[in-house]
Amino acid sequence: MPTTSFSLEIVPPSRPEAISAYQEMLVELPALAPESVAVTLGAGQAETTKEASLTALGIIQNQLMLPAVAHLPGLYETKASISQFLDELASRRVTKVMALRGEVQPEKAIGDFPHASDLANFINRFGSFDIVGASYPARHPESSSWVAELLGLQHKVDAGMSQLITQVFFDNQIYDNFIHRIRQAGINIPVTVGVMPLLSQHLVDNLTHNMGIPLSHRVNQLITKYGNDPQAFRQAGIQYAIDQINELLAMGVEGIHLFTMNDADATKQIKSATFG
């Protein structure tokens, strides 16, 4: 049986009180032996956030000696700003990027890359980067139909993306339907499954209200049962992620991409109860 890849994602901290957990997460990365480590970056972020992302990427790639993956949301960027960022990546020997559109902020003027595929096309002309894209097993909230969703994915493949990572979902049946649907449509690049442990009620609200991610019946049960006990909620969220990953492994998925939420302890628990 082919082995399933294991990769991680970290978030540069946006608040001072989140710095120590982030540092601990970075220190623990090598022992977790991920195939790669991605650094989250939202669209239209301040220059300081971009710099924090570049610092993390440099540390991961050149101090921890793990392949780093840069997130690159293009919506509010220009050809010049993307070229500059790609130069910064190259100087740090980072060769893998996740090309994204990014969240729409209605008050902001769109730049040179309205879609992730536009950005991927540009990156491919710019230099030799390995490009990853996002995919949506529960369909992208803006896609009017599955036909539109599949055409969007085909744009990503045509633009040279070599791998897809799925949006977070909580019911593996959604993934099973999705993978069959895209394979039948002839989209054949590798698909890695994004798994996010529900570590807090705040995170659940963020996923549902800001990212349009549907919850499952079992997640709703978890909220009802542990909604007012943060510690019990966190542990139940960790167990949910463990059960979800073990089921995905049994289904024969190509890769698991675990969002660490910068929680080293949760990440270690999940890794050891799934991949060992």
Ligand X SMILES: Nc1nc(=O)c2c([nH]1)NC[C@@H]1CN(c3ccc(C(=O)N[C@@H](CCC(=O)O)C(=O)O)cc3)CN21
Ligand Y SMILES: NC(=O)C1=CN([C@@H]2O[C@H](COP(=O)(O)OP(=O)(O)OC[C@H]3O[C@@H](n4cnc5c(N)ncnc54)[C@H](O)[C@@H]3O)[C@@H](O)[C@H]2O)C=CC1
- Residue numbers at the binding site for ligand Y (CB under 6 A): 40, 42-43, 71, 73, 100-103, 115-117, 134, 140, 142-143, 148-149, 152, 155, 167
Residues that bind ligand X in the complex, under the rule CB under 6 A: 11, 14-15, 18, 40, 42, 103, 167-168, 200, 202-203, 206, 211, 259, 261
Least separation in angstroms between CB 206 and ligand X: 4
Choose from ligand Y, ligand X, none: what does 116 bind? Cβ within 5-8 Å by kind: ligand Y
Choose from ligand Y, ligand X, none: what does 261 bind? Cβ within 5-8 Å by kind: ligand X
3-state helix, strand, coil in the chain (%, to 5): 50, 15, 35
CA-CA distance, 80 to 120, in Å (whole number)?
15
Pinpoint the alpha helices (H) of the chain. 19-32, 47-58, 79-91, 116-126, 146-158, 172-184, 201-211, 217-226, 230-251, 264-272
Least separation in angstroms between CB 19 and ligand X: 11
- State which residue, 212 or 223, has the beta carbon closest to ligand Y: 212
- State which residue, 82 or 193, has the beta carbon closest to ligand X: 193
Neighbours of 182 (CB within 10 A): 22
Choose from ligand Y, ligand X, none: what does 149 bind? Cβ within 5-8 Å by kind: ligand Y
- State which residue, 111 or 197, has the beta carbon closest to ligand X: 197
Least separation in angstroms between CB 100 and ligand Y: 4
The DSSP 8-state label assigned to residue 62 in this structure reads I
Residues 114/149, Cβ–Cβ less than 8 Å: no
Contacts of 135 (CB under 8 A, 6+ apart): 153, 156, 164, 165, 166, 167, 178, 182, 191
φ/ψ (deg, to 5) at 43: -75, 145
Q: How many CA atoms lie within 13 A of 75 on its CB side?
A: 16
Least separation in angstroms between CB 193 and ligand Y: 13
- State which residue, 55 or 206, has the beta carbon closest to ligand X: 206
Identify the sign of the CA torsion 108, 110, 116, 121. Answer: negative
Least separation in angstroms between CB 229 and ligand Y: 29
- State which residue, 54 or 134, has the beta carbon closest to ligand Y: 134
Choose from ligand X, ligand Y, none: what does 203 bind? Cβ within 5-8 Å by kind: ligand X
- State which residue, 11 or 69, has the beta carbon closest to ligand X: 11
Measured at the CA of 234, the angle between CA 192 and CA 6, to 5 degrees, comes to 20
